[in-house]
Each structure stands twice: as structure tokens, then as C-alpha cells.
Amino acid sequence: MDTSQLCESLMEWLQTFDVEAPHQTLEALSDGVAMAQVLNQIAPEWFTKSWMSKIKSDVGTNWRLKVSNLRKIVEGIVDYYQDGLNQHFQDFSKPDVNKIGEKCDAAEMGRLLQLILGCAINCNHNQDYITQIRAMEESVQQVIMQAIQELEQISHYPNPSSIIIDQRLDYQKLVSELEAATEARNQMAQRCHELDMQVSLLQEEKTIFSMENKKLVARMQEFETIDDLSAGAGHRYKEMRKQNDTLKEEMFKIETSRDDYRLKVEIQEKEILELQSKLEDLQKTADEARHLKDEVDILRETAEKVVHYEATITSYKKKLEESGDLKRQVKILEDKNTYYMQQNLELEEEIKKSGTWKPQLEMYRKQNMELHQKLNEEKKRADKIEFESKKLLEKLDSLQIEKERLTVERDMLKETNEELKCFQLQQRSKTNITQNASIALLDETGPENMIPPEVKEKLVRLQHENKLLKLNQRGSEVDKLPVVQALLDDTTQQVNQLQLENQLANQRVLELESQIEELNETGDAGMKHRLSELQNQLRAVQTEKDLKITQLEERDASIAECKQKLIVMQESLRRSEQEVVALEERYKRYIEKAKSVIKNLDPKQNPSSFAEVNVLRSQLLEKHKVIEDLEEEKEQNKLCRDMEEKLMTTAFYKLGMVRHRDSVDHRLAVLGSNQGQSFLTRQRQATIRRSINNFESR
């Protein structure tokens, strides 16, 4: 078989599938996307969407991606043949995907498409694909049949679908030949009918011409007997003679044509007889083809049954092999069952003993609940105390900070007090005027810590000037009296100015103290605002606490319900344990019965039961025979039904043909009546109809 022809035919077959990917050329098929979509349509239960997601669609000209896609397709097809169809290709080498991906090799592509064709022929919907193949050209059908037969030879597994295709192809040829023969027969019968009509018309014309000829001959004889013929009569005689000759020639031609038509009619009758014999042979072959088709259907069903029976036999063999393991498992389960029975007895004894401890357990539960409530209350108290302690600690920290600040201020005041004392001691050595002035200044200023630094600088300057005046006074007190007086006036003015400044400073201090008090008052208002915020937060915490208490109560209620449910579940568990014990007892009984049945069925241990086994086998064989007989009766009834349907269709077609011919005859009769037919023509038409009906009845 030519590889290029195989590839072209299989590509034409692939065009019958409706897929999204391009699949008109080898280059379009080389990426494998179209073939994967075709496989998904053929066997969607095997080539699923998850498998389709592994095939990359946007490949382009990358031959490595093409090769990977084709390799996945080949592996999926091989797995489908081995696991899904239980067929193994030993002598069939896999197609070279590298050649397909790199060079678009037609031979390797044909082999890959041949495997896809095998998947389509062996899938669940193979009838649809077979009908598609039947609708193709005969040359393509022959190539596809050769490919299917090659796959069957390689797999060593006859495929009933290929047999069906062969027989259906033969049946199709026979049907086409039969239709062509019937059409030819109908055409020949119509042609014969037309020739018979022409012959009858010609015979009528012949009779008419013969009658006219006789009349003319009689008139000619009459004219010959007349002696005194005139010139005009002679001329007419000559014309009539010429007409007679021409009529004789036409008569001769008509007779020759009649003979020719008779020969043609005989030849056509012979051809009709041959065609009828061929038609009978074709009908016989069609019946044989139908019979073979029915036999093929029966064989296909039997093949499917054989495959099913083989699978059941293998499963039974596996079960027999696993029966030893099952016996071992049964022994292990029996040992476990005895162990569990002992545990159940021990647990029942413990449950009986625990019956005396129930009232004590309930008492302990109540005590436990009370203790839990007390513990929750103590936790709440501890939380409150902890919160209050945190608040007190914060207050203590703030007080400590204020204490430190006050100690720092106290130290500063002490230092200033000491400085002032030292200053007072220094001032005692000065003059009385300066001493009185300084004393007046000190009395007016009030607290010593309120002296501003500017005043201190001026006091230091005055002290320096005072020292200079003392020194000058010792030298020349009299001479410098007006000068000293002027200086005294100046100093008094400066002291007055300093007193005014001191008063202003005291007023400033008072203002600052009032501002400090206002600030303290405003701070108390802020504290009040903060306290109100804290009270609001405390209220929110109280509400949350109430909610928590309600939630705890609800949880306690749900815990009580769960405990009740737990008690009910324990009771149901006890019941289920009792049921398990009862089931275990039944299981033991069934095992004992099974052992006894196995012992009875085993011919080595119990030879007396061998006869019973044979009887059962014979009964099973009789049942199988009855089932086979019923199946045969079913098949016969099916065949009879098919034959009845076929006979009904043939009778319907015959009735249609008779009605058609009757309508044709009626039309011809109408046409003949319009032309004016004689009695002889009507008789001939009636004889022709009878001959045609007799021929059809044959």
C-alpha cells in the first residue's frame, strides 16, 4: 500500500470531523492540535479536557513543541489501545514524531492517522464513523479498508466493525447495481411500449394506405376499360400512377421499418429477459447480503459476549488466587473478633462497677460547678483590684514626679535664701542710707525669691558705687560734700526707680500667680473632662462585662445541653455496641455456615456432594441452553419482522409502478382518442397491456 495515497485518503477522512484547529494540510496537522481534538470527539471519556490541556495550541514553527505534542498523542493512543480496547501492537512500530515535527513526513503522518482511524473504528460510536466512511468515494474506502485490515493483522484481534464495513461495501455495490438494473429495465419497458405504439400506428397507416391503394387500383381498372379517354383524363391517370408508385415506395419503406422494429423488439425482449435474470440474481445476492449482515451482527454480539466472558474468567481466576489471602484474612479477623469480645466483656464489667460511682460523680460535678462559679467571681474581683492598683500606681507615679519637682524647687529656694542672707550680711557693713534703702527695698519686695536679675545687677552696681564713695569720703569729706549730695540725690532717684520697678515686678508676680491658679482651675476642668471620659469607658466596660456574663450563662446552658447530648450519645453507643455484638455473633454464624458449605462443596473433603455439584452444573447448562434457544427464537422473530417489512416495501413499490403505468396508458389513450383511433388499434392496445402485465407478473 502506497504511503502517500494512505496519507491523502486518511486526511480526506479527517476532513469529515468538525474541529476548530486547521487540518487541511500536513503542516497544519504537524502540531497535533487538530488530531487531539479529533481524539477528544472519538473517545471523550478517555481523551478528557485535562488531557487536552497538556496539548499546547500556540506552537508556531517551534518543532520541539510540535514533537512534544505528537509524543503525548501517540502515548495516549497506545494507552487507549492497551487499557481501553485491550489490544496490543507487537509488530507495529510507533510513528516517528521527530520526522513529523521537523519534516512533515507523509509516511509517518499516515501511520499516525492510521492509529487514529483504529480508535474511531473501535470506539463506542463506531457506527457513525462507519456511515461517514461509506459516504466517501470507493477508492478512499478501499484504502481505509486496507489500513483497517493491516491494523487487525498486527493486533491479532478480528474487528467486527471492519467485517461490517466490507460487507456493507459489497452490499452497497449490489444495491447500486440492482438500482441501475431496475432503472434500465424500466427504461427498456418504456421504450418497448413506445415502439409497440409506433408499430400499431404504422400498421394502421399501412391498412389505410392499402385501402387507398385498392381503391386506386379499382379506379385505374375502370379508367383502363374506357376506350374514349380524353387528354385531361390521361393526364390525371399519369398523376395517379405516379402517386401510386410513390405510395408503393412508402409502403415498402414502412414494411422494412416494421421488420426492423420487430427485430428490435425481439432483441429488447431478450435483453429484458436477461435483465430480469440478472435482477433475480441480484435479489438473491441482496438476500444473501442481508443474511450475511444478520450473521455478522450475531457474530459481533457473540464476540462481545466472548470478550465479556473472558474478562469474567480472568476475574474469577484472580478471585480464586485471592481466596487464599481471604482465608488468611478471615482467620486474622476471627482472632481480632475474639480479642474484641474479651475487651467488650471487660468493658461491661467496668461499666457495672462504675454504676456505684454515678451519684458520687454527680455530686463532684455539682461541687465542680460551684467551685468554677466561685473561681470566676474571684477572677472578677482580682481583675477589679488589679485595675484599681494600676490606677493607684499611676497616681503614685504622678505624685512622685510632683514631689521631685517640689524638692527641686525647695532646693532652689534654699539656695536663693542662703544667697540673700549672705547679701544681707554684706549690706550691714555699708552706710545707713544704703542700708535703709536696701532694707526698704527688701521690705517692699517681700519674698526674696521674687527679686529679678536686673535688680540684682543694679544692687551690685550700687554696692560698688557705695564703696567708691566711702573711700572718697575718708579723703576729703568737706570738699566733696556737694558732690556726695548730688550722688545721694542720684542714688535716691535710682532707689525710687528701683522701688517702682519692684512694685511692677510684684504686680507681675501676682498676675502670674493668678494665671497659674487659672491654669490649675482649667487643669481641674480637663481632669474633670478626663474623669467623665473614664466614667463613660467604665460604663462601656460594665456593659461588656454584662454581655460576657450573659454569654457565659448561655455557654453554661449549651454545655449543659451538650452534657445531656453526651449522655444520650453514650446510651446510643451502648446500644450500638450491643448491636455490634449481635452482628459479630451473626458474622460467626455466617462464617460457620460458609465453612460448612465450602466443606460440602469441596469434592476432596466430601466426595458424596460431588454428585450434587454435577446435578447443579447440569441444571446450569440446561438453563444456558434454554437462554440460547430463546435468543435464537428472538433472532428468528427479528428476521421474520425484517422480511415482512421488506415485502411490504416491495409490494408498495410494485403498486406504485402499476399505478404509474396505468396513468401512462390513460394519457396515451386520451391522446389516441383525440387523433381518432379505429377498433383494431384499441384491440392491439388491450393486447399490449395484457402482455406487459403478464410480463410483470412473471
* pLDDT tier, 257 (very low <50, low <70, confident <90, very high otherwise): confident
Confidence band, pLDDT 50/70/90 cuts, at residue 443 = very low
Task: Assess contact for 46 and 180: CB atoms under 8 A.
Answer: no
The per-residue pLDDT for range 455-472, each reduced to its tens digit, is: 556 666 666 666 666 666
Residue 537: Cβ-neighbour burial (10 angstroms; 0-12, 13-18, 19+): exposed
| pLDDT exceeds cutoff 50 at 275 | yes
Lowest mean pLDDT across 303-312, 370-379, 478-487: 478-487
Name the packing angle between helices 453-475 and 432-445 (round to 10°): 170
Contacts of 65 (CB under 8 A, 6+ apart): 31, 56, 59
Grid coordinates representing 623 are: 438453563
User: How far, in Å, CA of 694 to CA of 680, rounded?
Assistant: 21
For residue 228, the model assigns a pLDDT of 47
Q: Which residue has the higher pLDDT, 105 or 432?
A: 105
pLDDT value for 164:
46
Cα 111 to Cα 6, 8, 78: the distances in Å are 9, 12, 13
* pLDDT surpassing 80 at residue 256: yes
Neighbouring C-beta atoms of residue 27, cutoff 10 Å: 10
Least confident of 174-183, 279-288, 605-614: 605-614
Lowest mean pLDDT among 288-302, 426-440, 442-456: 442-456
Residue 366: pLDDT above 60?
A: yes
Helix, strand, or coil (residue 610):
helix
How many Å apart are CA 187 and CA 516, to the nearest integer? Answer: 137
User: Would the pLDDT of 107 be above 70?
Assistant: yes
Average pLDDT of span 612-632: 75
Query: For the residues 158-166, what does the mean pLDDT come to?
Result: 47
The DSSP annotation for 245-284 comes to HHHHHHHHHHHHHHHHHHHHHHHHHHHHHHHHHHHHHHHH
- Check residue 415 and give its pLDDT: 81
Neighbours of 506 (CB within 10 A): 15
Mean pLDDT score across all residues of the chain? 72
Predicted pLDDT of residue 520: 60
> For the segment 372-407, what is each residue's pLDDT rounded down to a tens digit?
788 778 777 777 777 777 778 888 888 888 888 888
Q: What is the pLDDT of residue 695?
A: 47
Summarize pLDDT for 506-525 with one digit per residue, the tens.
Answer: 666 666 666 666 666 655 55
Q: Which residue has the higher pLDDT, 17 or 354?
A: 17
- The set of residues, in sequence order, having a beta carbon less than 8 Å from that of 42 and lying 6+ positions away, is 116, 119, 120, 123, 125, 129
H-run or E-run covering 127: helix 126-134
Q: How confident is the model at residue 609 (pLDDT cuts 50, 70, 90)?
A: low
Residue 503 has a pLDDT of: 64
- Cell numbers 456493507 label which residue? 168
- Quick one: pLDDT at residue 454? 57
The pLDDT value recorded for residue 613 is 63
Q: Nine-digit cell at 172?
A: 452497497
| Domain spans, the chain | 3-157, 182-340, 430-531
Cell numbers found for residue 609: 456432594
pLDDT value at 554 more than 60 = yes
33 or 473, higher pLDDT? 33
> What homologous superfamily is domain 3-157 in, according to CATH?
Calponin-like domain (1.10.418.10)
Q: Residue 493 pLDDT more than 80?
A: no
Q: What is the DSSP string of 4-40?
A: HHHHHHHHHHHTTS--SS--SSHHHHTTSHHHHHHHH
Mean pLDDT across the stretch 633-649? 81
Q: Is 459 helix (H, G, I), strand (E, B) or coil?
A: helix
Measured CA to CA, the distance from residue 21 to residue 36 in angstroms comes to 10
Q: Using CA atoms of 628, 631, 637, 642 in order, give the dihedral in degrees to the nearest 10.
A: -120
Average pLDDT in the 133-156 region? 77
Predicted pLDDT at 235:
75
pLDDT score of 213: 81
CA distances from 549 to 226, 310, 570 (A): 162, 74, 31
Contact residues for 555 (Cβ-Cβ < 8 A; gap 6+) = none
